[in-house]
Amino acid sequence: MLRAMLHPAAAQVKLPRDLAFGARLSHLAAMAFWRNIHPGDAIADFVAVWRSAGRLRWRFLAAAIAVTAALFSLIVRDEHRIEPRPPHIDYITSWHAGRSEAEIRASNARNQQRKEALAAEQARADEELRNIYKAIGRASGMDVDAIEREAKADQAASAAAAAHGAAAIPAPPHP
C-alpha cells in the first residue's frame, strides 16, 4: 500500500516475499517515514534482490561501474591551459611623424570646412524633409502652422528648463 502511494508503478511489481521491508509496510503507512527506516533492512533487501538477479548480475555491475567511472572522469578531469599570448597591436599611421605645426593647422582647417559643409547639407535635407511633411499635413487637413508653433514653444520651454537645471516636463498631448 505504501509502495503504491510513493510510486504508482511499484504496486504492479512483484517482489520476493522474503524482503525485509515487506512485513513493515502496514506500519510505514501509519507512522512517520524516518522512524521506520533501518539500515539492516536496506542491506537485507539488497542481498535478496542481488540473489534473485540471475547469472548476468556481475556483468551489469561491471557495466554500471564502468559508466559511472567514465562520467566521473569527464566531470572531474582537470585541464591545464597555457596563458594566452598578449595581443599584437598594429598602429595605424595616417600622418608622417615629422609633421609641422602649420601642416597640422592646415589639416584641421580643411577638416573643419568639410564638417561645416556636411552640416549645411544635412540642414538643407532636414528643411526639405520638413517641407514635405508640412505639405502632407496640409493635404491631410492638419493645421501645420499651429503644430509648428506648439513644437517651438515646447522646445523653448525645454531649453529654459535645461538652462535652469530642472528636468523638462513634457506638455500633455492635445487631442
Domain boundaries, the chain: 2-75, 104-163
Q: What is the pTM of this model?
A: 0.36
pLDDT per position in the chain (175 positions), as tens?
Answer: 444 444 455 445 455 555 555 555 555 455 566 677 788 888 998 888 888 888 888 888 899 999 999 998 888 776 767 888 899 988 777 777 788 899 989 989 999 999 999 999 999 999 999 999 999 999 999 999 999 999 999 999 999 988 887 554 566 666 5
- The whole-angstrom separation of Cα 65 and Cα 7 is 26
Backbone phi, psi, residue 170, to 5° = -70, 145
Single-letter amino acid, residue 43: I
Reported as half-sphere exposure (CB side, CA atoms, 13 A), residue 3 has a value of 12
User: What's the grid cell of residue 93?
Assistant: 599611421
By C-alpha distance, which of 61, 38, 49 is closest to 14?
Answer: 49
Tally of helices (H runs) and strands (E runs) in the chain: 6, 0
- The whole-angstrom separation of Cα 133 and Cα 123 is 15
- The answer to whether 25 touches 45, Cβ cutoff 8 Å, is no
107 CB-near residues (< 8 Å, 6+ apart): 95
